[in-house]
Structure 1
């Protein structure tokens, strides 16, 4: 349900960009994000995880900057910066021997510390790639290409990555998880 709700701001952005332009899309993205995060806040009993705080704060800053200064350059920087922050955070977690993917997926996979580090680095590389792709589409392509990629163009790339991850890691699925699904 959470993931489905998180698509609503993207849909609002896409519709507003197509019908009213980039500045209206920034407003729609900001308002929709605030509404969805209010729903998350209530459903999560008044708490956000760190990723949610990063996304919320950067959305406010970049959409707010776009609207106040009436310049879409700020909105164009949002996705490359968010993806860069996620990539850097994951790499730092590996460097300090606390791979974040272990915290996020310990109930799904049973891996050695080396495996968790490799998985975390793979996700860092994925976020770095997404940041680069968002940058390229935002600053070297047409507005239409950027809007399309920002809204839904990244989804097939993520699906391929996640499916490949599960294919590679299927033999490491946590036995407790498979026992629950068998019942």
Structure 2
């Protein structure tokens, strides 16, 4: 899939949440977010005939917590969704490590071929990062107004996550099992 289209499908619903929250409030923004993330998954299915795991899980959580928010007319549920999701991800990775099961490798193993040490390092880092995001979300939604929390969710969490992901590239490069084709070609030539 075209990278720009993938970005639109993954970030577009969050962008719409931000816009509609600013124009019509959190309840309308939540409803639009729920609809947009569902449409994004449908489009993904139509284009690739598969549903990517993380966007699917994200959609389920948005529908559950967004549905509770709208049904009970209580913004608490949409505000704690990032906390719950990130805590679950963190705990899952930490528990997996304690059981000698690297769940990050299970999810990303088709995209990355790394030595076990590389998977272990990435898993520990991501588990701590998800815990950091959960704590940060709790601090922001409990300490600031709803609009500040929405801004943090859109313009804070996403850039922090992208930066954190980019900082993992050296570990990935160091622990790759098969170097990229360009490197192989350069060494052979």
TM-score range, shorter chain: 0.7 to 0.9
Structure 1 residue 156: Cα displacement: 2.6
Corresponding position of 2:168: 165
Correspondence 1:91 to 2:94: yes
The structure-2 alpha-carbon separation of the partners of 1:110 and 1:145, relative to structure 1 and needing over 3 Å to count, comes to same
Give the structure-1-normalised TM-score. Answer: 0.86
Task: Describe the SS at the equivalent of 2:88.
Answer: helix
Listed as ranges, the gaps of 5+ residues in structure 1 are: none
Correspondence 1:175 to 2:174: no
Question: What is the RMSD computed on CA atoms of the aligned residues?
Answer: 2.3
Equivalent of residue 68 in structure 2, options 59, 65, 70: 65
Correspondence 1:16 to 2:20: yes
Structure 1 residue 163: Cα displacement: 2.1
1:123-157 deviations in whole A, cap 9, x for unaligned? 11111111111121122212221010111211231
The structure-2 alpha-carbon separation of the partners of 1:120 and 1:35, relative to structure 1 and needing over 3 Å to count, comes to same
Equivalences, count: 181
Q: In structure 2, what is the Cα distance between the partners aligned to 1:79 and 1:48? A: 21
Corresponding position of 1:154: 157
Task: Describe the SS at the equivalent of 1:175.
Answer: coil
Structure 1 residue 162: Cα displacement: 1.6
1:1-183 matched pairs, under 5 angstroms: 1-45=5-49, 47-103=50-106, 104-105=108-109, 107-111=111-115, 113-179=116-182
1:61-112 deviations in whole A, cap 9, x for unaligned? 111111111111111111111111111222222222221222315653532x
Structure 1 residue 30: Cα displacement: 0.7
